[in-house]
């Protein structure tokens, strides 16, 4: 359907100022004039949208969304919460768009819907927050005390220094097999050591690292 046709379907459409400003006031106040013309646009777009004009409806929703966002931002801090409220308002506007009377300004109509939906969203958030705790990074841990000592659990510098203090053969074995993750065969080819020597070097290196890092061996 063209916008002309849909406009013809709007009987009794009258020009209504969005916020009650007179024309003279609107001219002396540029921001007020912008608001008034916005309100007028919204009224015309909504009247056409009721007739099925999708283009007008898209322009209406696109231009009203920042306003709804500013209303929601007064009550919510999180970006996701604000978008949630805005989408709730848009869905309600869509569901009850036939209740809009084009003889009346669109601004107060959508503001009233927005305010009520935002209050509903706040109630819902209040109920949810009472029952839920958000999962933060510091909650991602295990019961063992060591895992909560982050500076020990992830102190790579200490490990690197301990590896550097090993004998050259043991250091190569640890680097190739444990840090770079090569197989015994690949490590043997890369280092020129035999597989058996690599195994022995790795075993001794791990034993010595444990000692250096203060980790007690099982049974000792």
Number of residues that bind other proteins (CB under 8 A): 38
Determine the interface stretch with other proteins among 31-39, 93-101, 161-169, 208-216 (rule: CB under 8 A). Answer: 93-101
How many residues appear in the chain? 220
CB 89 → other proteins: shortest distance, Å? 11
CB 25 → other proteins: shortest distance, Å? 22
CB 40 within 8 A of CB 18: yes
Q: Is 96 in the site for other proteins (CB under 8 A)?
A: yes
CB 206 → other proteins: shortest distance, Å? 49
Going 123 to 125 to 130 to 131, the CA torsion angle's sign is: positive
CB 1 → other proteins: shortest distance, Å? 8
CB 174 within 8 A of CB 163: yes
The single residue among 13, 67, 75, 83 that binds other proteins, judged by CB under 8 A, is 83
DSSP state, 51?
T
Q: Is 94 in the site for other proteins (CB under 8 A)?
A: yes
CB 70 → other proteins: shortest distance, Å? 14
Q: Is 90 in the site for other proteins (CB under 8 A)?
A: yes
| CA 42/CA 48 separation, integer angstroms | 10
Q: From residue 102 to residue 141, what is the string marking binding to other proteins with x (rule CB under 8 A)?
A: x-x---xx--xx--xx------------------------
**For 123, left (φ over 0), alpha (ψ -120 to 50), or beta?**
alpha
Q: From residue 17 to residue 56, what is the string marking binding to other proteins with x (rule CB under 8 A)?
A: --------------------------------xxxxxx--
Q: Is 76 in the site for other proteins (CB under 8 A)?
A: no
SS (H, E, C) 118-139: HHHHHHHHHHHHHHCCCCCHHH
Q: Is 91 in the site for other proteins (CB under 8 A)?
A: yes
How buried is residue 175: exposed, middle or buried, by Cβ count under 10 Å (0-12/13-18/19+)? Answer: middle
CB 88 within 8 A of CB 117: yes
Closest CA to 82 of 97, 102, 65, 99: 65
List interacting residues with other proteins (CB under 8 A): 1, 6, 9, 49-54, 57-58, 61-62, 65, 80, 83-84, 86-87, 90-92, 94-102, 104, 108-109, 112-113, 116-117
């Amino acid at each position: 359907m063209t916008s002309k046709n849909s406009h013809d379907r709007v009987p009794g459409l009258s020009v209504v100022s969005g916020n009650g400003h007179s024309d003279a006031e609107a001219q002396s106040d540029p921001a007020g004039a912008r608001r008034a013309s916005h309100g007028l646009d919204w009224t015309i777009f909504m009247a056409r949208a009721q007739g099925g004009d999708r283009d007008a409806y898209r322009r209406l929703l696109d231009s009203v969304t920042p306003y709804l966002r500013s209303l929601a931002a007064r009550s919510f801090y999180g970006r996701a919460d604000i978008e949630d409220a805005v989408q709730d308002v848009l869905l309600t506007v869509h569901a009850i768009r036939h209740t809009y009377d084009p003889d009346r300004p669109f601004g107060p109509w959508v503001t009233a819907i927005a305010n009520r939906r935002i209050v509903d969203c706040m109630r819902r958030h209040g109920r949810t927050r009472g029952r839920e705790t958000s999962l933060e990074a510091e909650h991602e841990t295990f019961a063992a005390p060591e895992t909560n000592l982050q500076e020990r659990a992830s102190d790579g510098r200490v490990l690197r220094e301990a590896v550097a203090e090993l004998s050259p053969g043991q250091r190569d074995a640890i680097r190739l097999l444990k840090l770079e993750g090569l197989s015994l065969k690949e490590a043997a080819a890369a280092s020129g050591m035999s597989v058996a020597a690599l195994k022995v070097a790795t075993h001794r290196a791990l034993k010595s690292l444990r000692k250096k890092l203060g980790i007690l061996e099982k049974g000792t």
